[in-house]
Structure 1
Amino acid sequence: MAAPAYKRILLKLSGEALMGNDSYGINRETIERIVAEVKEVVDLGVQVAVVIGGGNIFRGVAPAAAGMDRATADYMGMMATVMNALALQDAMRRVDLVSRVQSALTIEQVAEPYIRGKAIRYLEEGKVVIFGAGTGNPFFTTDTAAALRGMEMNAEIVLKATKVDGVYTDDPKTHPDAMRYKSLTFDEAIMRNLKVMDATALTLCRDQKLPINVFSIFKQGALKRVVMGEDEGTLVSP
Structure 2
Amino acid sequence: MKYQRILLKLSGEALAGDRQEYVINPQILERYAKEIKKVVEKGVQVAIVVGGGNIYRGSEANVSGIDKVQGDYMGMLATVINGMALQSAIEKQGIYTRLMSAIRIEQVCEPFIRRRAIRHLEKGRVVIFAAGTGNPYFTTDSAASLRAIEIEAQVVLKGTKVDGIYTADPMKDSSATRYNNLTFDEVYQKGLNVMDMTAFTLCKENNLPIIVFDMNQEGNLLRIVEGEEVGTLVAMEAN
What range is the shorter-chain TM-score in?
over 0.9
- TM-score norm. by structure 2 comes to 0.95
Residue identity matched to 1:151: I
**How much is the aligned-residue C-alpha RMSD, in angstroms?**
1.3
- Mapped partners of 2:213, 2:190: distance in 1: 19
Change (3 A) 1:63 1:201: closer
Compute the displacement of 1:65 (Å): 6.4
Q: Aligned with 2:136: secondary structure?
A: coil
Confirm or deny: 8 A CA contact 1:166 1:215 kept in the other structure. yes
Q: Aligned with 2:94: secondary structure?
A: coil
Residue identity matched to 1:21: D
**Equivalent residues, number:** 233
Give 2:193's match in structure 1, choosing from 195, 199, 211. 195
Residue in structure 1 matched with residue 102 of structure 2 by the alignment: 104
Confirm or deny: 8 A CA contact 2:165 2:231 kept in the other structure. yes
Residue identity matched to 1:130: I
- Mapped partners of 2:189, 2:137: distance in 1: 23
Q: Aligned with 2:132: secondary structure?
A: coil
Residue in structure 2 matched with residue 217 of structure 1 by the alignment: 215
Residue in structure 2 matched with residue 5 of structure 1 by the alignment: 2
Residue identity matched to 1:16: E
- Mapped partners of 1:67, 1:190: distance in 2: 33
Give 2:112's match in structure 1, choosing from 78, 95, 114. 114
Once the two structures are superposed, the pairs formed by residues 18-57 of structure 1 within 5 Å of their partners are: 18-23=15-20, 25-57=23-55
Residue in structure 2 matched with residue 71 of structure 1 by the alignment: 69
Q: Aligned with 2:54: secondary structure?
A: helix
Residue identity matched to 1:51: V
Q: Deviations over 1:58-105 (max 9, x none)?
A: 16xx69961211111000000000000000001111111100000000
Q: Does 1:207 align with 2:215?
A: no
Confirm or deny: 8 A CA contact 1:101 1:112 kept in the other structure. yes
Provide structure 1 residue ranges, at least 5 long, that are not aligned to the other structure: none
Confirm or deny: 8 A CA contact 1:65 1:73 kept in the other structure. no
Provide structure 2 residue ranges, at least 5 long, that are not aligned to the other structure: none
Residue identity matched to 1:6: Y
Once the two structures are superposed, the pairs formed by residues 142-221 of structure 1 within 5 Å of their partners are: 142-221=140-219
Identical-residue share of aligned pairs (%): 56
Q: Deviations over 1:194-235 (max 9, x none)?
A: 111111111000000000000011111111111112111000
Residue identity matched to 2:64: A
